[in-house]
Amino acid sequence: MSGDVSTRRVPVVHPEIGRWVPTAVLHGLVLAVATALCLLVLAPPLWRAVGLTLAVVGTVVPRRVPLWWLLLLLGLSQLGREPSVTDVTFYLLLAGVHLLYVLGGLARLVPWEGRMQVGALVQLMRRFVLVQAVVQPVAVGALLAFGGGPGTVPGLSIVAAVVLGVVAVVLARSPKHHDVQSED
């Protein structure tokens, strides 16, 4: 043998993924939703600047500054407001925070320079719409029941919040998985 090793060029195969969008679009959606929510509910200039900074940094470097910091800021900003059944801002914030949570959770998992199937984004948005179809009417009912108008009991909303908190703690502490013993 002469030592010649024949090299054969192997063609590069790219799998077909169907219709796709760059994953940077997902990151851009996160930034757009976060910015819109900051502009919608954060009125004082200082808090608006903090919110927009958290939105940008949380989108660009989500492992350093998680988006839940912005979600927390948006939620805390509503403590001084009295929610109303006719307040559109409340419903937009409710849907927007949920959308930011959903998109931000996926954006943490995909790199900026990848590709994502359109179907994955559509399925994500379908679940978002289904959840909102339940959450928005429940929010209307809660605001009607605990709004403090005629026929409502003052302070009942605080009692209901405490009860929901206790239920959440009980559910969080309940065993999630039971050990399944295999029969030999």
Strand 115-117 and strand 20-22: pairing? antiparallel
Alpha carbons 148 and 50: distance in angstroms, whole number = 33
Contact 26, 75 (CB under 8 A): no
pLDDT the model gives residue 183: 46
Give the other-Cβ count within 10 Å of 67's Cβ: 23
pLDDT at position 147: 66
Give pLDDT, residue 107: 92
pLDDT at position 37 is 97
- Work out the burial of residue 31: count CB atoms within 10 Å of its CB; fewer than 13 is exposed, 13-18 middle, 19 or more buried: buried
Q: Is 170 helix (H, G, I), strand (E, B) or coil?
A: helix
Q: What percent of the chain has pLDDT over 90?
A: 47
CA distance 135 to 128: 10
Residue whose pair of structure tokens reads 């900074």 in the numeric block: 53
Reduce the DSSP state of residue 111 to 3 states and report it. Answer: coil
pLDDT of residue 156: 64
The rounded distance, in Å, linking the Cα atoms of 38 and 53 is: 10
Compute CA 146 distance to the chain's CA centroid, rounded to the nearest angstrom: 26
Domain chopping of the chain, boundaries = 20-146+155-171
User: pLDDT for 17-47, tens place per residue?
Assistant: 788 899 999 999 999 999 999 999 999 999 9
Can you give the pTM of this predicted structure?
Answer: 0.73
pLDDT tens column, 44-91: 999 999 999 999 999 999 888 899 999 999 999 988 888 788 889 999
